[in-house]
């Protein structure tokens, strides 16, 4: 991988690391500050924060892959993603073992089913009809034991939308 792509991969790796670290904290803070955890008898201290964090990491790795797909050929994209993933895993002290690879491949397969990040209400779709909505359901299930907790789903969608907006606004790649 050339020096320019390596610099971009470093920036996007840092983006994944930053948002993987901050978004789960923001989500839990929003849940507790709103009193939502008390209203729905959720013991937030028993929720697997590490699991939530890993799920955000998988989502953000996928978002970076979707982003670079628009600009890089397959060989460059594969090298780029391998570099990014290795750097992210090193930052979180996660080994790229068979368990990680299985979960990663499952998430990539699952996420690839969603061509849209969010549904389009102008076309009669719910915002939850996209990747962010489905991801919100996964996080809702982890936190509340129910995949249809609208407050959690909407909160996750808001975080993911903001993070995606931040990613694309970095302007690392230009359309030709």
Encode pLDDT of 98-121 as tens digits.
999 999 999 999 999 998 998 777
Please, what is the average pLDDT of the chain?
A: 89
List the Cα angle 139/145/150 in 5-degree steps: 60
For the record, the structure tokens of 103 come out as: 């979960």
Q: Of 96, 19, 99, which is closest to residue 60 (Cα–Cα)?
A: 19
Question: What percentage of the chain exceeds 70 in pLDDT?
Answer: 93
- Tell me the C-alpha distance between 147 and 150, whole Å: 9
Mean pLDDT of 1-19: 95
pLDDT of residue 173: 82
Q: Of 163, 73, 61, 77, which is closest to residue 112 (Cα–Cα)?
A: 61
Whether pTM exceeds 0.85: yes
pLDDT of residue 145: 84
Burial of 136 (0-12, 13-18, 19+ CB in 10 A): buried
């Amino acid at each position: 991988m050339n020096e320019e792509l390596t610099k971009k991969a470093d920036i996007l790796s840092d983006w994944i690391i930053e948002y993987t670290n901050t978004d789960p904290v923001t989500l839990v803070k929003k849940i507790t500050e709103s009193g939502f955890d008390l209203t729905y008898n959720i013991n937030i201290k028993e929720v697997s924060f590490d699991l939530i964090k890993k799920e955000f990491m998988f989502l953000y790795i996928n978002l970076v892959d979707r982003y670079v797909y628009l600009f890089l050929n397959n060989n460059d994209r594969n090298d780029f993603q391998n570099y990014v993933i290795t750097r992210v895993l090193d930052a979180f002290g996660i080994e790229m073992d068979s368990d990680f690879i299985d979960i990663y491949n499952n998430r990539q397969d699952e996420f690839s089913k969603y061509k849209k990040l969010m549904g389009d209400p102008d076309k009669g779709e719910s915002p939850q009809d996209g990747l962010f909505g489905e991801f919100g359901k996964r996080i809702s299930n982890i936190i509340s034991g129910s995949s249809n907790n609208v407050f959690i789903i909407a909160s996750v969608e808001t975080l993911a939308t903001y993070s995606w907006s931040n990613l694309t606004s970095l302007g690392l790649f230009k359309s030709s």
